[in-house]
Amino acid sequence: MNAKSVTVRHLLEMKKEQRKISVLTSYDASLTRLMEEAGVDVLLVGDSLGMVVQGQESTLPVTLDEMIYHTRNVARARQRTLLIADMPFMSYRSPDLALESAGRLMKEGGAHMVKLEGGATQLEVIRQITAQGIPVCGHLGLLPQSVHKLGGYRVQGREADRAEAIRQDAFALQEAGIDMLVLECVPSALASEITASLTIPVIGIGAGVDCDGQVLVVYDMLGMNPHPPRFVKDFLQSGGSILQALQEYVAAVRDGTFPAEEHGFK
């Protein structure tokens, strides 16, 4: 990392100063260079690559070796962004396996932080990883790796009991040592409440404008998904270049014009 690199500490400062954090997924060196030029703060090598790169029906088939490969490609091109890598399905089913997987994503892939899905069931795993100095990003709400358990890609937390469970999980994850939290497809009011209550940065995707930052799958915000989720805006639709679209996304996140009300859920 150079002196201008975004770090976990910088993200905490951005939350305290109420400066929005821009996050996008990246899977290769070419897009990474454009995102760096556009001023994106954080890059996420998501297991979403299973669907948008590999053509899979879900994220479940993605392997740890594949995640390491794509993370390494992004790491070669990044200059200042913080680099997060998803831990794929079944790569953290026990604390010891989770530590081994996270260590490989850091050592072989060049990640600065790892991300995993789930709440209270993951506390022991998170404590094991963070005890070794590895930053962790949590993920609550819609959990793509649990899509079959959830019955599809559906908004989470509309019912009072589910909302309370997400709240409790958020605090438990923070207590266990996570450095950042992603909230996906939860009601905007619930995400706003959780964001205001936690001391760590909260990044939303389909979670309203009040989160500390936003993340989208880059292919979605470039209009490459023929059936985009409701929370997506096509930043390339107005014309121009990919770089301009990335710059517009960063600007819209920072000034709070994205997401708009129509991109959220009640």
Reported as a single tens digit per residue, the pLDDT across 2-57 is 558 999 999 999 999 999 999 999 999 999 999 999 999 999 999 999 999 999 99
Is pLDDT at 175 greater than 80 in this prediction? yes
- What integer pLDDT is reported at residue 239 of this predicted model? 72
Q: Give the chain's mean pLDDT.
A: 95
φ, ψ at 47 (rounded to 5°): -70, 0
Region 73-96 average pLDDT: 97
Q: Stretch 177-183: mean pLDDT, rounded?
A: 98
- What pLDDT sits at residue 3? 54
Nearest Cα to 117, choosing from 135, 134, 93?
Answer: 93
The larger pLDDT score, comparing residue 148 to residue 253, is at 253
- The catalytically annotated residue of 184, 193, 248, 262 is 184
Closest CA to 221 of 1, 19, 44, 10: 44
Percent of the chain with pLDDT over 70: 97
Q: Identify whether 184 is a catalytic site residue.
A: yes
What is the predicted pLDDT for the residue at 218? 98
pLDDT tens-digit series, residues 115-166: 999 999 999 999 999 999 999 999 999 998 887 676 677 899 999 999 999 9
- What integer pLDDT is reported at residue 9 of this predicted model? 97
The Cα–Cα gap between 3 and 183 comes to 30
Range with the lowest mean pLDDT among 62-76, 94-108, 151-165, 194-208? Answer: 151-165
Q: In this predicted structure, what is the pLDDT of residue 211?
A: 98
Kind of pairing, strands 202-205 and 42-45?
A: unpaired
Domains and CATH numbers, the chain: 8-263 (3.20.20.60)
Q: How confident is the model at residue 221 (pLDDT cuts 50, 70, 90)?
A: very high
Buried b / exposed e along 122-143 (16+ C-beta atoms within 10 A) = bbebbebbbeeebbbbbbbbbb
Read off the pLDDT of residues 106-116 as tens digits, 9 standing for 90 and up. Answer: 999 999 999 99
Residue type, 265: F
Continuous H helices in the chain = 8-16, 29-38, 49-52, 64-77, 95-107, 123-130, 147-150, 160-176, 188-197, 218-221, 242-255
